[in-house]
Structure 1
């Protein structure tokens, strides 16, 4: 597939995939092309940055009115389980989500879970709660951040939760994506949405990713190598401590079994972007539905458009996480470059061209 347009970014700016004419799939997006297109879903970030040692944070995905007395149907799928996804067993056993989904750095996940419990116990309807299942995912940002410092604290968690809002979602080096790296480039938070038709009715599916995984970047099915991007595109070395957390929200009436099927497709979508699913990668997806009172669930035979929508949205969200991120120098003096958008477009439109040492394009032959 070719990009549908060839817009060149202004110097120094970062744009989303569609701003560059890179369009994944054929489905329509929501108005914001973000997880917040799903009614009632809010997102909040707290970025914790003390350069060069600390580049970390927390991101909150907050469904409206979720709680132990108002759980939402949910499913989870593990692609590779080298991770610390807190709350998985009860979510799998009961198929319900009781809290917002929080994302953070690996060694900060346990503090974040404790802070989430404290915040939830103060919510209306939780005054008598004696059991609560916090759901917290993580990625290892130790390549760029002093992960052992565990820099994410309760006040950061509360700020992300209290500041969560609808509307556009900040992407790239923000919140839980501040220190993450994917496919050899600086990555971070990315989001996208689609509006599939299921059984004659339109619904919305939105995704948010915390991208931090290894492999070789693919864009629209085309392998993008450092050689094709030139010297400033040389990827950083990536340890096998990477992961990807994916959160999927939908207003379609689905049960937990169906949402687990949706979550499975979300992890499958990472392969489109070049994911290696390495030994040290924790690749997870959590999917929840915001309309448990909507009556009969969608028939399984009608789920095809939703599956395709989630595959496309995850692929685009990963690209957005890369394109929104900026070159970062972090802990130990390591520098991870941003994906150069202008050279990426060159590579997509002239895939056989290579670069000279000074960055000029050299046609084949």
Structure 2
């Protein structure tokens, strides 16, 4: 079994991200790493568990600097379709804050991960006087490509992801909680992106990270992309059930209500990529801010009518992060012989260079 606490930055030999193919989304510039970690103080760590063909699983930790019960951060949550186990979500909805890092994992491992997160945080000065903690753990179902009933993610794996969380470039695709994920007919996983923009006289950053695991038909720039259209096997008809998790972080001065509005846009953005929002898919957005507002030391929240560019940043970043999660994944076969193929960059760019047709593209030939 391969275990990696903190995945290295992508190397030149790894598959290209969307921007390397000229498929960046929107006009806003990205941060230096085009990742969630472009938001100052936010770190990401992965533990990846692979024992082919039986285990393709793991855990991903999103760690805002200093977060704890004595320093909660404003947050909002939104469930587009609530078929999932987002642990800790009701307290976020009630109090508008997170008081722990946010962890992502496989469905049946979520409960062990939550317990390990509580144990890790109780040992730290951020929780020195804690009598209660609200661990936040999201999950997706990796049962198509991993033996989910073995619940392979253990306490040591959670601690490794938390302790190994770093800033800078974030490994994507088949890493951490994305190792066994599938989406839109392809192998998927972790994807991330960011945008930098002016707001209320200052420069702010919006970063997103997705654990992509949902059904539908992939759309790239509005154009339908299926395995068959790229010369790949269509795979089997087994449904893709999973809770797509979208994390949004920002250093903009926003309150919990405004962050909930960002979380909604994070779920809406999945439709751009072709999400079906099916019965068995939990589609969750969670947004948090790194600058508490309304305190003596903190700034005032910005006006609601200034948020439109921030909404655009979320929508564009999520769409690009989903595409990154597909492009950086690798073809994987699970314990029951199910295979999901990675999205091949060469075939995708060749398809997109051809004229639109009147079939699945839904546009006349020659209309680009």
TM-score higher than 0.5: yes
Does residue 1:322 correspond to 2:347, yes or no? no
The secondary structure found in structure 2 opposite 1:73 is strand
Asked whether the 8 Å contact 1:272–1:315 carries over to 2, the reply is yes
The secondary structure found in structure 2 opposite 1:343 is helix
* CA-CA distance at 1:353 after TM superposition: 7.7
Cα deviation 1:41-64 (Å, max 9, x = unaligned): 000000011111000000000000
Q: Which residue is 1:252 aligned to?
A: 252
Q: Which residue is 1:358 aligned to?
A: none
Asked whether the 8 Å contact 1:67–1:98 carries over to 2, the reply is yes
Q: Which residue is 1:131 aligned to?
A: 132
| Cα distance change on mapping 1:247 and 1:227 into 2, 3 Å | same
Among 304, 309, 326, the alignment partner of 2:308 is 304
Cα deviation 1:213-248 (Å, max 9, x = unaligned): 000000011111334212x26355451412310110
Once residues 352 and 221 of structure 1 are traced to their aligned partners in structure 2, the CA distance between those partners, rounded to angstroms, is 11
The secondary structure found in structure 1 opposite 2:125 is coil
The secondary structure found in structure 2 opposite 1:338 is coil
Asked whether the 8 Å contact 2:213–2:240 carries over to 1, the reply is no
Cα deviation 1:109-158 (Å, max 9, x = unaligned): 00000000000101113122110000000000000000000000000000
Please report the RMSD computed on the Cα atoms of aligned residues, expressed in angstroms: 1.8
* CA-CA distance at 1:13 after TM superposition: 4.6
Once residues 64 and 233 of structure 2 are traced to their aligned partners in structure 1, the CA distance between those partners, rounded to angstroms, is 38
* CA-CA distance at 1:337 after TM superposition: 0.6
Where structure 2 has 5 or more consecutive residues not aligned to the other structure, the ranges are 1-11, 359-364
Q: Which residue is 2:44 aligned to?
A: 43
Once residues 167 and 236 of structure 1 are traced to their aligned partners in structure 2, the CA distance between those partners, rounded to angstroms, is 38
Asked whether the 8 Å contact 1:184–1:236 carries over to 2, the reply is no
| Cα distance change on mapping 1:59 and 1:188 into 2, 3 Å | same
Q: How does 1:146-225 map to 2 (within 5 A)?
A: 146-225=147-226
The secondary structure found in structure 2 opposite 1:24 is coil
Structure 1 runs (4+) greater than 2 angstroms displaced: 225-228, 232-238, 351-354
Once residues 209 and 346 of structure 1 are traced to their aligned partners in structure 2, the CA distance between those partners, rounded to angstroms, is 26
The secondary structure found in structure 2 opposite 1:136 is strand
In the alignment of these two chains, the number of paired residues is: 345
* CA-CA distance at 1:331 after TM superposition: 1.4
The secondary structure found in structure 2 opposite 1:92 is helix
Q: Which residue is 2:120 aligned to?
A: 119
Asked whether the 8 Å contact 2:208–2:318 carries over to 1, the reply is yes
Asked whether the 8 Å contact 1:86–1:137 carries over to 2, the reply is yes
Asked whether the 8 Å contact 1:117–1:132 carries over to 2, the reply is yes
Once residues 339 and 351 of structure 1 are traced to their aligned partners in structure 2, the CA distance between those partners, rounded to angstroms, is 20
* CA-CA distance at 1:265 after TM superposition: 0.3
Once residues 235 and 337 of structure 2 are traced to their aligned partners in structure 1, the CA distance between those partners, rounded to angstroms, is 16
Cα deviation 1:274-293 (Å, max 9, x = unaligned): 00000000100110000115
Once residues 357 and 255 of structure 2 are traced to their aligned partners in structure 1, the CA distance between those partners, rounded to angstroms, is 49
